[in-house]
A = this chain, B = another copy of it.
């Protein structure tokens, strides 16, 4: 179990402060779990106050004892009631803000209104995109964690080979993978930033279980109920159909995203053909991608290749495709950058992106998803496992 080192937090805070100064934001108040973990090393119930210059304060409601153990920050102090918020900040020399940044993409409206009253006459501005931009480029420390996850992914994907038999239900196989994951230290949860975007970490679908869903992903699945309308179902796994495993091991707060296709028997030609095309698309993207290239370019390359093929209308979801072929990943599943048309941010060393060319047909979904680290001369694959259809 890792505790984020102080040097790491200091660098992150410095990057945020730099961005804040560029945008004339006097201070930031961070409260959401993913961001708290990133900037403070703990998710104990807290307000993390970051001034545009000077030392941050972690104001903890519960558990103070544990926040002190988990966070190496200099100022980890108690804040029992919001009424004391301004006074505590003043005590540390902070006050008279013109603008304060909050995570307005995830902060509930009621809290927003409450904070507005609390901090007036300061004006609340949205700092979520600055935070997400800071988190977009990973540090060597973060990449080290991702490399550990890479090894765990290899073990987990191997489990399918051993456990997939005809007549086992999607749910049972999902359970086997979940159990092995938890045993090896998986947190059991994965964080998604977008509202309503909840997802179990083992997304396993077979054959015709390719129903569209509310989730912003290309392959939905029936799920077990309209209340959680995606993912594995009671369906039994049969012969000659693809079994898609889209999986993330969450270790030390971080995750990768990886998809592979398994099959008993032999896939019909259209599925095998589309899968081969997905592999080709990844190869082509790898040729194009390097620091400085706009993210949107990778999407355009993928769309061009899929569009030129016989499988174009099944690319990235069917009947309604999603609008991206990849996404940043780290503490949350939906980090920046987005690999989508017109997304002009250039690739940068240290970005970590999942790229997922997938084809969805009424009788099955195929494709490959890898998570790549952007390095000096291109993309380094962190999810190395046979990309061909894996016949078991």
> Chain A interface (Cβ within 8 Å of chain B)?
1-4, 31-33, 37, 41-45, 62-63, 65-66, 70-71, 102, 104-113, 126, 128, 169, 171-172, 174-176, 178-189, 191, 195-196, 198-200, 202, 211-214, 220, 223-229, 231-232, 234, 250-254, 319-320, 331
The reply to whether B180 and A320 form a contact with Cβ atoms under 8 Å apart is no
Interface centre among A71, A179, A188, A223 (most CB of B within 10 A): A188
A224: B residues at CB distance < 8 A:
1, 185-187, 251
How distant is the Cα of A164 from the Cα of B189 in the complex, in angstroms? 23
The reply to whether B183 and A172 form a contact with Cβ atoms under 8 Å apart is yes
The reply to whether A182 and B187 form a contact with Cβ atoms under 8 Å apart is no
How distant is the Cα of A111 from the Cα of B106 in the complex, in angstroms? 9
Residue of B nearest to A194 (CB): B108
The reply to whether A172 and B178 form a contact with Cβ atoms under 8 Å apart is no
The reply to whether A62 and B227 form a contact with Cβ atoms under 8 Å apart is no
How distant is the Cα of A304 from the Cα of B171 in the complex, in angstroms? 46
4 shortest A-B CB distances, which residue pairs?
A227-B253, A175-B179, A188-B200, A109-B112
Q: Pick 25 A–B contacts, CB within 8 A, sort by A.
A: A1-B224, A2-B225, A32-B195, A33-B227, A45-B196, A62-B213, A62-B214, A62-B320, A63-B214, A109-B112, A111-B195, A112-B112, A171-B182, A171-B185, A174-B188, A175-B178, A175-B180, A176-B179, A178-B188, A182-B232, A188-B231, A189-B199, A225-B251, A227-B253, A228-B253
In the complex with contacts A1-B224, A226-B253, A182-B175 CB distance below 8 A: yes
- The smallest C-beta distance from A174 to any residue of chain B, in angstroms, reads 5
Residue of B nearest to A188 (CB): B200
In the complex with contacts A178-B188, A185-B234, A231-B188, A43-B196 CB distance below 8 A: yes
- The smallest C-beta distance from A199 to any residue of chain B, in angstroms, reads 8
Interface centre among A71, A171, A183, A331 (most CB of B within 10 A): A183
* A108: contacting residue among B33, B63, B183, B195, CB under 8 A: B195
How distant is the Cα of A174 from the Cα of B182 in the complex, in angstroms? 7
The reply to whether A63 and B187 form a contact with Cβ atoms under 8 Å apart is no
The reply to whether B182 and A178 form a contact with Cβ atoms under 8 Å apart is yes
A214: B residues at CB distance < 8 A:
33, 43-45, 62-63
